[in-house]
A and B are shown apart, each in its own frame.
Chain A
Amino acid sequence: MFSFIVLDDNYLTMKILIAEDDELMLKTLELRLKKDGHEIISASDGRDALSKIEQHTPDLVISDIMMPYVSGLEIVAYLTENRQSKKIPIIVLSGMGQEDIVLEAFQLGADDFITKPFSPSELSVRVKRFAAINSR
């Protein structure tokens, strides 16, 4: 009747693309998710993210909203419009007071969001949820 997502340490790992222009933040997220066993592809801006999405086809995209060249919203729009990448879930990272933008991201097709400041462990748990869904 009910289906449960069990978040244990044996969940499947994913290929995750992180798009974040803050170098320290990018590296921190990369290290945290690598610790969980995921394969990480880093992109330091939106344009870089788009080309790496095409190149690697990740299982999940984590993207900051405010980025140079191509914004996080444009990445969300690209993913939902493109047939090949339509099924890739996307988590957007937003700053405080960007509620309107988060709403727009959801309308464009984002699957989840995290407001900065956030704990890397929180992100890890959210990613685990997507990994569990992905493994079914």
Chain B
Amino acid sequence: MIFFEVAILFFICVTFLMILWMFINLTIKKVRDGRYKKLKNMADILIRNAIFLEQTEEIKLIPITARTAKMLSNDNFRSILTQELLSAKKNISGTAAVNLENLYNQLNLDKYAVKRLRSRRWHIKAKAIQELGIMGQKTHLNKIYRSTNNKNDLVRMEAQTTIVKLYGFEGLRFLDVVSYQISEWQQIKLLQELSRLAPDNFSGIEKWLNSTNMSVIVFALKLVRNYHRFELYDRITELLNHPNEVIRLEAIYTLEKIYTNETSKVLIDKYPLETLKNQKAIVKALQDVGYDDDIPVLIQFLGQDENELKRLIVRTIANINPEGLTEVENLPQSNQYPLDQIIKQIKGELI
């Protein structure tokens, strides 16, 4: 009986403690949420004042109340204000965006971002770099530049993107020194940043094409073809002899974009020495750079077992000159599988 009473008492106590714990937690959460809302509201008002500040020739100071100025020493407020500023900057352009940058400078918020750059935690560092980039803080070039070869992938990627965002093609000079591989995704991001800028005659590609970092060569090849740097044609043809398969493949893609009337011969010469993947790329490239004279050689290439490659070759012949298909049809094996089916398919594509 006593055991039963103790058990009930224990149960009541536990329930009471749980309710108390929940109540305290909810109260703390409510206070925190209220405080956050209040600070966010203050930050929003300040940002809106900056957005709607009239444009004048000289940079105007954004009016800040004494209370807001005092609040700037509060870490929480500063963090909320910075987050809101970044969010607004991502959504707004024009004079309003310039005003936001001015507000950021006026409040010396860059000072705190630079401080966070020294953090040992990679995510804090990466976020600080991103912040400086979004807010157009060119004065901190050296500090960001140092991180372009950081051992952490994400810090490195953020620093490289930010440098290009702030300095355009000039920012690519980090390629001179970067020792880590630049991932495929990062290359896409960098090219996307560059695509927003007017292409000028940026220098350095020759150097990057000779880099010991394979990914730098690959990226340089992408730059050559995106910006049609015809003057580098000879160097690109040399890269067809590179020991790395990926670089040879990128060189093939690049030659497809900056070809001369000699390119098809160069590619055909390399064809027998190449891997299957690169052979396919050569045949595809010949669709754009090939001539009638190349058709007999392409017909010779049909004497192999890979059906996909065979189909590509026939399609390339048809692309160069649809009459070339007649020569394929005259081959003894043209009535046999798979060539008969391939011819049928490519003929269908021509209609």
Q: Name A's B-contacting residues (CB within 8 A).
A: 22-25, 27-28, 31-32, 35, 116-122
Question: Residue A122 contacts which of B44, B51, B90, B94 (CB distance < 8 angstroms)?
Answer: B94
CA distance A31 to B96 in the complex (A): 13
Chain B window 70-110, contacts with chain A (Cβ cutoff 8 Å), 1 for yes, 0 for no: 00000000000000100111111111110000000000000
**Shortest 7 CB-CB contacts between residues of A and residues of B:** A119-B94, A117-B93, A116-B91, A24-B44, A119-B93, A25-B91, A117-B92
Contact A24 to B94, CB < 8 A, known contacts A31-B52, A32-B52: no
Contact A28 to B93, CB < 8 A, known contacts A23-B44, A120-B51: no
Contact A117 to B91, CB < 8 A, known contacts A24-B47, A24-B84: yes
Question: Residue A116 contacts which of B48, B51, B90 (CB distance < 8 angstroms)?
Answer: B90
Name 6 A/B residue pairs within 8 A (Cβ), A-sorted: A25-B87, A32-B52, A116-B92, A117-B90, A118-B92, A119-B96
Note all chain B residues with C-beta closer than 8 A to A23.
40, 44
Contact A22 to B96, CB < 8 A, known contacts A28-B51, A32-B52: no
Question: Closest B-chain residue to A23, C-beta based?
Answer: B44
Contact A28 to B92, CB < 8 A, known contacts A22-B87, A120-B51: yes
Name the prevailing secondary structure of the B interface residues: helix
Interface contacts beyond A24-B48, A118-B92: sample of 14 additional A-B pairs, CB < 8 Å, sorted by A = A23-B40, A23-B44, A24-B47, A24-B88, A27-B44, A27-B48, A31-B52, A116-B91, A117-B90, A118-B94, A119-B94, A121-B94, A121-B96, A122-B94
Note all chain B residues with C-beta closer than 8 A to A117.
89-93, 97
Nearest chain B CB to A24 CB, angstrom units: 5
Nearest chain A CB to B46 CB, angstrom units: 11
Question: Interface size class for chain B?
Answer: 10 to 19
Question: Closest B-chain residue to A117, C-beta based?
Answer: B93
CA distance A27 to B93 in the complex (A): 16
Name the prevailing secondary structure of the A interface residues: helix
Note all chain A residues with C-beta closer than 8 A to B90.
116-117
CA distance A27 to B40 in the complex (A): 13
Note all chain A residues with C-beta closer than 8 A to B89.
117
Q: Are A24 and B87 in contact (CB under 8 A)?
A: yes
Question: Closest A-chain residue to B97, C-beta based?
Answer: A117
Q: Are B91 and A22 in contact (CB under 8 A)?
A: yes
Q: Are B48 and A121 in contact (CB under 8 A)?
A: no
Nearest chain A CB to B196 CB, angstrom units: 9
Note all chain A residues with C-beta closer than 8 A to B88.
24-25, 28
CA distance A3 to B90 in the complex (A): 37
Question: Closest B-chain residue to A121, C-beta based?
Answer: B94
Note all chain A residues with C-beta closer than 8 A to B94.
118-122
Note all chain B residues with C-beta closer than 8 A to A24.
44, 47-48, 84, 87-88
Question: Closest A-chain residue to B94, C-beta based?
Answer: A119
Note all chain A residues with C-beta closer than 8 A to B96.
119-121
Chain B window 267-307, contacts with chain A (Cβ cutoff 8 Å), 1 for yes, 0 for no: 00000000000000000000000000000000000000000
Nearest chain B CB to A125 CB, angstrom units: 11
CA distance A56 to B47 in the complex (A): 30
Nearest chain B CB to A43 CB, angstrom units: 17
CA distance A39 to B89 in the complex (A): 26
Note all chain A residues with C-beta closer than 8 A to B92.
25, 28, 116-120
Question: Closest A-chain residue to B88, C-beta based?
Answer: A24
Note all chain A residues with C-beta closer than 8 A to B91.
22, 25, 116-118
Question: Closest A-chain residue to B93, C-beta based?
Answer: A117
Query: In the complex, which of the residues B84, B90, B91, B97 has the most CB atoms of chain A within 10 Å of its own CB atom?
Result: B91
CA distance A31 to B51 in the complex (A): 10
Nearest chain A CB to B316 CB, angstrom units: 31
Note all chain A residues with C-beta closer than 8 A to B87.
22, 24-25
Question: Residue B93 contacts which of A22, A25, A32, A118 (CB distance < 8 angstroms)?
Answer: A118
Note all chain B residues with C-beta closer than 8 A to A27.
44, 48
CA distance A34 to B318 in the complex (A): 63
Nearest chain B CB to A28 CB, angstrom units: 6
Question: Residue A31 contacts which of B48, B84, B97 (CB distance < 8 angstroms)?
Answer: B48
Q: Are B95 and A119 in contact (CB under 8 A)?
A: yes
